[in-house]
Amino acid sequence: MTGKIHSFESFGTVDGPGIRFVVFMQGCPMRCKYCHNPDTSDFPGGNEYTAQEVAEKALKYKHYIQKGGGVTVSGGEPLMQAAFVKELFTILKREGVHTALDTSGINFNPTDETIKELLSVTDLVLLDIKHIDDGEHKMLTGHSNAKPLQFAKYLSDTGKDIIIRHVLVSGITDNDNYLLKLKEFIAQLKTVKAVEVLPYHTMGEVKYEKMGIAYPLKVVNPPDKSRVENAQNILRGEL
């Protein structure tokens, strides 16, 4: 089958352990105000590839990605094309390649067999929790956080390794009460291997300009180092 893909990165170092071949899928139902990949949002864009073609591209780098790295499928939102990613990961697992899924969990459905099958060939889930407060999550992304949180619990209950990622945005997620609430939630999960705080940055702004759309967070500055450390300390349970 074919998947709609926005782009590839051959030597990714920030989306999972080690050196990774990263596949950015096209299409995302969310509309995060800080999205730095707004050009991945619309499903009609992107190019079509078969799972075999993408696997072959990734396997060209097998020598590099084998040693502690692997392949990460990111987005956009990879669960929108779960059947394609399942096929791709099935090929990669056969080749002994580590697989990671970078997702917001917004498309999770506990009765969806394709997602379950995809998870059976996924070694690690990088789960982006956008906001722990449901109202704020809706303001930030246009959607409730119910599914992402349900997905986190499902991954924990089924023994799937998780890295939690959280974008720190001044005035939105950079708030000790919310961070403590998020920490409480993470503490209930049994399979969290790491928590990553990603400082909000304005690098996406240029893309919005090129696309001729208004940048939603124009007046927000990136958080300073001390606030990033504060968030890391809270979320990693050191405060």
Using rule CB under 6 A, residue 7 touches ligand SF4: no
The string of DSSP letters for 32-85 reads: -TT-S-GGGS-TT-SEEEEHHHHHHHHHTTHHHHTTT-EEEEESS-GGGGHHHH
The answer for residues whose C-beta is within 8 angstroms of residue 224's C-beta and 6 or more apart is none
The closest alpha carbon to 182, from 144, 145, 141, 139, belongs to 145
Nearer to ligand SF4, 79 or 91 (CB): 79
Nearer to ligand SF4, 7 or 37 (CB): 37
Q: Interface with ligand SF4 by CB under 6 A: which range of 2-10, 23-31, 89-97, 112-120?
A: 23-31
Using rule CB under 6 A, residue 164 touches ligand SF4: no
Using rule CB under 6 A, residue 76 touches ligand SF4: yes
| Spatial separation of the C-alpha atoms in residues 192 and 159, rounded to whole Å | 10
Instruction: Give min distance, CB of 190 to ligand SF4, in A.
Output: 25
| Spatial separation of the C-alpha atoms in residues 65 and 200, rounded to whole Å | 28
Rounded to the nearest 10 degrees, how much is the dihedral formed by the CA atoms of 60, 64, 65, 67? 140
Q: Which of 1, 11, 14, 31 binds ligand SF4 (CB under 6 A)?
A: 31
Using rule CB under 6 A, residue 77 touches ligand SF4: yes
Nearer to ligand SF4, 91 or 195 (CB): 195
Q: Which of 5, 22, 23, 32 binds ligand SF4 (CB under 6 A)?
A: 32
Q: Which of 2, 7, 10, 37 binds ligand SF4 (CB under 6 A)?
A: 37
Using rule CB under 6 A, residue 105 touches ligand SF4: no
| Size of the residue set binding ligand SF4 (CB under 6 A) | 12
| Spatial separation of the C-alpha atoms in residues 133 and 151, rounded to whole Å | 16
What is residue 194's DSSP assignment? Answer: E
Using rule CB under 6 A, residue 46 touches ligand SF4: no
3-state secondary structure of 211: helix
Using rule CB under 6 A, residue 35 touches ligand SF4: yes
Do 80 and 108 touch, CB atoms closer than 8 A?
no
Binding site for ligand SF4 (CB under 6 A): 28, 30-32, 35, 37, 40-41, 75-77, 104
